[in-house]
Structure 1
Amino acid sequence: MAFVHRGATLSPSKPEIVGQWLAATDWFHADPEADPIAPPLAYRFDDPAGKVGIEGLIVPYGGRYIQLPLTYREAPLAGADEWLLTTMEHSALGRRWVYDGVGDPVLVTAFISSIAGGTSSAILEFDAEDERRTAPTSVHAHGTGSGPMPTPLDVVSAERTASVSTVHTTAGVLRIPHLLDPAAPASSASLVGDGDALGSTLLLAEFIPG
């Protein structure tokens, strides 16, 4: 379960974060200010330690889908300054440090764990009318594997080439596309996403053991 604070205000908002990130890329050439970013679709994973928020944002834009994986932290992540996107003021949680998840080992581990074990993204949990309720996310992500978590798993490096990020780990390579292609085939070691708003299953990430 991933707990969310319904009704919380965020500054900057998630569409603003996506817009700022896109403006800094070398592969996105539209103008997010002229054509505003729509509220993103999303999927979440749990951090076993309960400290880091893990979320994949998927934004419909110009007939395509753009993916930005994020992590939300209560304090800065040591050694990850290049992956820090912004600090966010959350009305319920206070200040959060928002990272491009490609550079956060907690997100990398969550993605590879889901891919390897064939597990699914988290269900949302929230408080409403003095009781705890659950709801699905707008995107359901799940791995296609059926084996154990590869170990040892430590992040060695991360880099981006055009619209694809590549994370090298001691267990293999994780590739995360940011411009999603509905025609991209999934393998037996992929993270795929589906949902009513997507219209098709999308390849969200793939893992190459080695």
Structure 2
Amino acid sequence: MAVIHRAELRPSKAEALAAWLPAQPWSGLTAGATVEVVTRFRFDDPAGEVGVEEILVRTPEGRLLHTPLTYRGAPLEGAGAWLVCEMDHSVLGRRWVYDAAADPVYADVLRRAIATGGHEAELERADGSGRFDKEGTATGSGSAPDSPTVTTASATTDGTETTVHTDHGDLVVLRVVGLPVPTGETLTATWGDRSAVVAVLPA
């Protein structure tokens, strides 16, 4: 379960990504271009401290980019190179937004979802009035009974793939949707009548 507040964000997520993506070689985005959020879904941090969100955005040229983010209430030590922005949240205050590939909380929930056949979190309204509708869903292809807890993560990018190195093996985050997929168990995102693999637990 992910608890979601109705809040004003400065910058917005689309604005933050549009400013950050041109510096990422895999994006193909030029400075000043805008991006459209196509779909998104959440994962649940078991500790309830870190927001974990997968966002797919479309560039003006029609390229679909996979941009997983984590939202933290304080800086993540050693992850300055992966900071997307600092964001003002009208309810939670200052938030540090990271490219999730270097965040151990993301690596843990992603590995677990893929390995065990897990799925996205339910979106609970913070005021207790029910749930928000989901824009997208995600499903892991694995069937393991459990997944070891990931406590460390670092990341390297080669072309359009970012490899997340953890204390329990690697994960591959696919940055551009629709390209060839490495062999292994997968996380598939679904929105509307479309679906695509966005991450892999290599065989």
Taking structure 1 as the reference length, the TM-score comes to 0.87
CA distance in 2, matches of 1:126, 1:152: 27
CA distance in 1, matches of 2:40, 2:148: 28
1:60 to 2:58 alignment: yes
Write the deviation string for residues 125-179 of structure 1: whole angstroms up to 9, x where unpaired. 1156xx5211342110111101033436443531111221101223221000111
1:163 to 2:163 alignment: no
Q: Which letter does structure 2 place at the counterpart of 1:46?
A: D
Partner in structure 1 of residue 143 of structure 2: 146
Aligned length: 202
How many angstroms does 1:189 deviate by? 1.2
Q: Which letter does structure 2 place at the counterpart of 1:202?
A: A
Aligned-partner SS, 2:21:
helix
Aligned-partner SS, 1:189:
strand
Q: Which letter does structure 1 place at the counterpart of 2:175?
A: H
How many angstroms does 1:93 deviate by? 0.6
Partner in structure 2 of residue 114 of structure 1: 113
Q: CA RMSD in A?
A: 2.1
**Superposition map of 1:122-201 within 5 A:** 122-127=121-126, 131-151=128-148, 153-155=150-152, 157-181=154-178, 184=180, 189-196=185-192, 199-201=193-195
Aligned-partner SS, 1:3:
strand
Partner in structure 1 of residue 4 of structure 2: 4
CA distance in 2, matches of 1:186, 1:193: 16
Structure 1 residue ranges without an equivalent (≥5): none
CA distance in 2, matches of 1:91, 1:5: 9
Structure 2 residue ranges without an equivalent (≥5): none
Write the deviation string for residues 38-69 of structure 1: whole angstroms up to 9, x where unpaired. 23521100000000000011112233311111
Among the aligned pairs, what percent are the same residue? 37
**Superposition map of 1:68-83 within 5 A:** 68-83=67-82
